[in-house]
Structure 1
Amino acid sequence: MLGAIISGKVADIIGRRGALWFAELLLIIGWLAIAFAKGVWWLIVGRLLLGFSTGVQTYVSIVYLAETIPPNIRGGFTMASQFMACAGIAVMFSFGNIIPWRFLALIGTIPCIIQLIGLFFVPESPRWLANVGRQKELEASLQWLRGKETDISQEAAEIQDCNQSLYKQPISRFQELLETRYARPVSIGVGLSFLLPWGGSNGVLLYASSIFDTAGCNVGIATTTMSFIQIPFSVLGVLLMDKFGRRPLLMVDLAGACLGGLLIGVGFLLQDLKLPVDLSATTVFVGMQMFFAFYAFGAGLPFVIIAEVFPMNIKGTAGSLAAFINYLNSWIVAYVFNFLFKWSSAGAFFIFSIIYALLILFVLKMLPETKKKSLEEIQALWTQEVH
């Protein structure tokens, strides 16, 4: 949570690339502390470093992609990070029981080292460079990103014009979050960050083995299936993102998770009614696979949307706030999930399904489509609403 709340400010001060470099370095140190731990304090420090740096990396990486990739392919590329996360979960679930944990921690350093080295060969975000007044570097960065033969003059001018219009009123960034012109983007970002964790995904993921065991499923088969089913669905989300847009895909994602939660709740209700174990176990198994399939399908979507809707001059502050709210509520849900599940296994999932249904209404009411729109065009949407 601490990493999340400072992520935007760190990215605003040292740049998107600098913040990612900082996060990757801490991730490597954290994994090495765990791999070569000589006592419990090494493990605690390693876990703290991993949590802090993940909080920084999660938001900043999405912002960097959103600010550098052309609008027509931005969604798919940004969502690809979710595919990699799902692939990582699949690897950990599959090999966690057969590979020593110290060696597993060393494996965790490999993608971090690759990205740390790779960051030396990519440019800084042109929009951040415009934000700090580095015009020549902005043009060089944009030229590298779009190709040597591409005319970047119009895009560079649009970035500069939008950046200048945002700074006509020099007031503090926290004040700006309360301005009428930012009411809708802040409501969207904070609203999604607050409501989505209460769909229970983090708690369900952490307690997946216990849920399957309580339902009478084969835990090994069920968790392995759950981890691998996420990969094709996350690939599907990447492929469909720029074809159908954020809004419809998020609604499909929420509807699928809602239905999956209902099936899990029905399965445990059948168990409470003392109906055949195979029926309740199968219903829970199918519901869990559906729940996590749609989780993988659209789990990265909220961060894509948050990175797109916030204007440059509040992106750091608003993004940090949204990320912090997301992590805080995810932690609360993970903490209370076990108590809620013991109170009523069926009732817990019915509650989660109701929250997903409310989220569908929230998306219908609040979220505009941002597919193939430049970040400057998205900013113009909020200006038009105010006027």
Structure 2
Amino acid sequence: MEEEKKPGTITYIDGGKFKNVEDEKEQSSLLNPKFIEAKSSIPAKKRPTLRVAAPQIIAAMGFGFMVGSVAAICIIPTLVIGALYKNKNNTENFELSEAQVSWYGSLSYLVQPIASICSGFTQNIFGRRKMMLSATIPLFASWIFLHFANNVVSLYATQIIFGLSIGFMEAPSMSYLGEALQPRFRGTLSSLSEFLYIVGTIYLYVCGSVLDWRTVSICGAILPCITFSIILMLPESPTWYIVKGRVGEAEKALRWLRGWVTTEEVDEEMRLLTEAVTENPFSGAKIIEGEFSKVKDTPSQIALFKERRIWKPVLLVCIFFFAGNSGSLIGMRPMFIDIFEELHLPVPPKLVLVISSAMNGLGCIVCVLLVHKTGKRFISITSLVLCAITCGALAAYVGIGISFPWLATVLFTLNFFSAGVGILTMPWALVSECFPLEARGLSAGICAAGAYLSYFFFTKTYFFFEHLISLTGVFILYGAISLAGGLYLYAFMPETEGKTLEEIEEAYQK
């Protein structure tokens, strides 16, 4: 029986189905000539999924190799400290004391937040793509500088350059990823790009197992070169172009990102994106006679942090980073070689490092395969709880004095796998998708800063807590923080997998 249509209702066909529209505003949009032209011009046959996904995979790979560079920077201190801490092998003309080790292992994390917060503003001025490209240059130079380092001061200098370079790169890249990827691809590709973090770790640890740390630094210099090459292929963010009033370039960029399609095939998405930007009083753009111009009296981004939809996801992501960095044993990482030797693991310490990265990678693969089915919320909570359990088991092993080194090896391996399942991927995925446009740049910068401040805290305080409460107490402390983080996410984290940026924003307003 045909549905009765009320007076003033417009009926149109969408996806082979008749739809009735009563709302006057929506009717006006439907009667827009461009909308009608786009609807009538889109072929009935859908484009191959691979062609649609390919440019977004390239975008995710650019972000992925960037985080691969981050991984290399995070773990190079482990190899340098393993060689220079008390200069056990007498291979260098200088050595690192305990205090110098704690500073060298954490210094890049201390300066990175400064650059992250600054990049939250500068990316809105210069664009996401230019910021990412420019940051790879000092990153490459710092790897070369590390190769020739001959004293403690030069080691500190490389860490400072590393931290600043990554800080200026991460927030723009996360904003770009959230704006470039479609909702149906965002969860999987965000996790896939984070998988390259593990690849970067494995790459450097494998190099470190057969080469000295100076040669490894040359191997590390390859990563920013690859990152630069991939980002060079990408267009600028369509959203940034629209905010700047460069509509033609925005359309061209969107066509590239949606599979090198025609203008008609992105016309509707351009219309929706344009409305989302121009109707937003904080976006910095408005329409004047069909064109865009910059609004000079844009409210300060900082004032927006009074709103629940912004401060709530920022707080949640920062707590996630803090708890995750605790449960994944980030603070111990620079001292892993020394700890593995102290526990008399049956496998050579550098080989354990390779195994640890491989287990991180395996966990990340599991995350990529499951996130679309289980959602980000379940995986995030599960990862934190599993890390808490393995930390508790390691505390029992050390505290009781069990003399079965293979058990300790298995427990470390399980911890690395559990961290890969969610902790190493999900917080960064949330950063790329859970902030509204008007505060996206600064919010991403603050979250990246929070991540690295927590890295700094756990790395710098490791020796302090070990002397204060012993290695057993450190495992208990790290496990307790991880468990508390899991409980917090259970109480406050909404599900965001497969949702649009607008739906995610609404979820955080509740």
Q: TM-score, normalised by structure 1?
A: 0.89
Question: Is the Cα–Cα contact under 8 Å of residues 233 and 293 in structure 1 kept in the other structure?
Answer: yes
Question: Is the Cα–Cα contact under 8 Å of residues 158 and 376 in structure 1 kept in the other structure?
Answer: no
Question: Is the Cα–Cα contact under 8 Å of residues 205 and 354 in structure 2 kept in the other structure?
Answer: yes
How far 1:177 moved relative to its partner?
Answer: 0.8
Read off the aligned partner of 1:236 and give its amino acid letter: V
Residue 323 of structure 2 is aligned to residue 209 of structure 1: no
Which residues of 2 match residues 166-315 of structure 1 at below 5 A?
166-167=280-281, 170-199=298-327, 201-218=329-346, 219-220=348-349, 221-271=351-401, 276-278=402-404, 281-298=405-422, 299-315=424-440
Question: Is the Cα–Cα contact under 8 Å of residues 308 and 508 in structure 2 kept in the other structure?
Answer: no
Residue 140 of structure 2 is aligned to residue 28 of structure 1: yes
State the secondary structure of the residue aligned to 1:263: helix
Read off the aligned partner of 2:281 and give its amino acid letter: Y
Residue 130 of structure 2 is aligned to residue 18 of structure 1: yes
Which structure has more relative contact order (CA 8 Å, sep 6+)? It is 1
Question: Is the Cα–Cα contact under 8 Å of residues 11 and 19 in structure 1 kept in the other structure?
Answer: yes
Match of 1:376 in 2: 502
CA distance in 1, matches of 2:379, 2:221: 33
Structure showing the higher helix proportion among its residues: 1
CA distance in 2, matches of 1:204, 1:31: 23
Residue 273 of structure 2 is aligned to residue 159 of structure 1: yes
Question: Is the Cα–Cα contact under 8 Å of residues 253 and 295 in structure 1 kept in the other structure?
Answer: yes
Question: Is the Cα–Cα contact under 8 Å of residues 204 and 219 in structure 2 kept in the other structure?
Answer: no
Residue 259 of structure 2 is aligned to residue 129 of structure 1: no
CA distance in 2, matches of 1:328, 1:364: 24
Could you tell which deviates more after superposition, 307-316 or 92-101?
A: 92-101
Can you list the C-alpha shifts for 1:324-349, whole angstroms capped at 9, x where unaligned?
A: 12211210111111222332222211
Match of 1:3 in 2: 115
Alignment size in residue pairs: 378
Residue 161 of structure 2 is aligned to residue 49 of structure 1: yes
Please give the root-mean-square deviation of Cα atoms over the aligned residues, in Å: 2.3
Can you list the C-alpha shifts for 1:181-211, whole angstroms capped at 9, x where unaligned?
A: 4342233233324443343631132222233
Q: TM-score, normalised by structure 2?
A: 0.69
CA distance in 2, matches of 1:62, 1:180: 21
Question: Is the Cα–Cα contact under 8 Å of residues 327 and 384 in structure 2 kept in the other structure?
Answer: no
Question: Is the Cα–Cα contact under 8 Å of residues 178 and 433 in structure 2 kept in the other structure?
Answer: yes
How far 1:174 moved relative to its partner?
Answer: 0.7
Gaps of 5+ in 1: none
**Which of 55, 58, 80 lines up with 2:170 in the alignment?**
58
Query: Relative to 1, partners in 2 of residues 1:33 and 1:223: Cα closer, same or farther, differing over 3 Å?
Result: closer
CA distance in 1, matches of 2:168, 2:190: 16
Can you list the C-alpha shifts for 1:82-120, whole angstroms capped at 9, x where unaligned?
A: 221212212222221422333322222222112212222
Match of 2:88 in 1: none
Q: Which has the larger radius of gyration?
A: 2
Residue 481 of structure 2 is aligned to residue 367 of structure 1: no
Read off the aligned partner of 1:314 and give its amino acid letter: A
CA distance in 1, matches of 2:319, 2:243: 26
Identity among equivalent positions (%) equals: 24
Could you tell which deviates more after superposition, 224-233 or 361-370?
A: 224-233
State the secondary structure of the residue aligned to 2:252: helix
Can you list the C-alpha shifts for 1:147-176, whole angstroms capped at 9, x where unaligned?
A: 244622232223222223432694211111
Read off the aligned partner of 1:16 and give its amino acid letter: R
Match of 2:449 in 1: 324
CA distance in 1, matches of 2:267, 2:384: 40
